[in-house]
């Protein structure tokens, strides 16, 4: 009797998406006019709408650092949006991206 259910079981297991299996994580440094213009707030709002987890914070040198985790396609779209700035008041000069190990953040937050 188990032989009758084996093909169905194998098909079902093959289609299961395991959380974290395709996740990617990056550290993004954004420079330009990105502090005092709502960049962190609008980036956090964008990240939450796109299902991105991680954090964003201001740096002493005037740049902003973003740690972001998501599936590759979502992360690529998020980075593209950052390059064009989620707020019209910012001016992006440079975006540097470094791959990191996935930490499985639960949400996206603004930090100090």
Residue 5 to residue 3: CA distance in whole angstroms: 5
Contact between residue 83 and residue 100 where contact means Cβ atoms under 8 Å apart: no
Q: Does 40 qualify as catalytic in the annotation?
A: yes
Residues 58, 67, 83, 93: which is the catalytic one?
A: 58
Residues 40, 49, 67, 93: which is the catalytic one?
A: 40
- HSE value, Cβ hemisphere, 13 Å, CA-based, for 13: 6
Residue 47 to residue 66: CA distance in whole angstroms: 10
Q: Does 33 qualify as catalytic in the annotation?
A: no
- Residues annotated as catalytic (active site), given as ranges: 40, 58
């Amino acid at each position: 009797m188990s032989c009758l259910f084996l093909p169905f079981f194998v098909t079902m297991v093959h289609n299961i998406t395991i959380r974290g299996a395709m996740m990617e994580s990056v550290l993004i440094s954004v420079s330009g006019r990105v502090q005092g213009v709502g960049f962190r707030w609008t980036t956090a709002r964008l990240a939450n709408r796109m299902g991105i987890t991680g954090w964003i914070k201001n740096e002493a040198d005037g740049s902003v650092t973003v740690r972001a985790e998501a599936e590759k396609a979502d992360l690529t779209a998020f980075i593209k949006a950052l390059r064009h700035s989620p707020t019209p008041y910012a001016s992006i000069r440079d975006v540097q991206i470094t791959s990191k190990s996935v930490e499985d953040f639960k949400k996206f937050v603004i930090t100090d």
